[in-house]
Amino acid sequence: MASLWWFVAAAVLGVVEIFTLDLTFLMLAGGAIAGGVVVLAGGSVVLAAVVALVVAALLMMALRPWLLRSMRKRGVDFVETNVQAAVGTKARTIDEITETSGRVKLRGEVWSARIVDDAAVIPEGAEVIVVKIVGATAIVVPEEEYTA
């Protein structure tokens, strides 16, 4: 009976994965299946939990990045989130932007910014496009120089 709960949890995580399409819940479902197999084989619930965590972690670190790269190569479009969603968006400079310093207003927030290496300094008040995020710094180019 205890193993049934592991497989129910895996099914629920699989359904959640269908709605997120992030491959995170799929890896957690794999861990839950491994935990269920341990219980079916006669292992304790504690051992099953440890195995589930280890398998889920290994799947997240090894399989998920490979699957994401593979899907992107095949042209699957993902909805970018967090800082990746800021790449390609328009911002306005609130300071002069140099290779080492500057600030932009991006989506209503002030971000530290800098230009790409060997580019011309961008003056205050210019429209720019974010081409990359490094840590908490937006790497920008002037809007007229941006090519997608």
Q: 108 in helix, strand or coil? A: coil
Whether 53 and 89 share a structural domain: no
6 and 69 both lie in a single domain: yes
Q: What is the pLDDT of residues 67-123, one digit of tens each?
A: 888 887 887 766 655 677 778 888 999 999 988 889 999 888 898 999 987 788 899
13 & 69 share domain = yes
Question: Are residues 99 and 132 part of one domain?
Answer: yes
What pTM, to 2 d.p., does this model score? Answer: 0.55
CATH of the domain at 100: 2.40.50.140
Number of domains in the chain: 2
Q: Are residues 94 and 121 in the same domain?
A: yes
Cβ–Cβ < 8 Å for 143, 129: yes
Question: Which of 43, 73, 103 corresponds to the end of one domain?
Answer: 73
64 plus 94 within the same structural domain? no
> Of 35, 47, 42, nearest to 10 (Cα)?
35
d(Cα 148, Cα 145) in Å, to the nearest integer?
10
Averaged confidence pLDDT in the chain: 87
* Average pLDDT of the residues in 136-146: 83
9 lies in the same domain as 69: yes
Tell me, yes or no, whether 47 and 86 share the same domain.
no
Residue 86 shares a structural domain with residue 65: no
For the chain, the first-to-last Cα distance in angstroms comes to 55
Give 40-101 as a DSSP string. HTT--HHHHHHHHHHHHHHIIIIIHHHHHHHHHHTT------GGGGGTT-EEEESS-B-SS-
pLDDT reported for residue 11? 94
Domain of 117 in residue numbering reads as 82-145
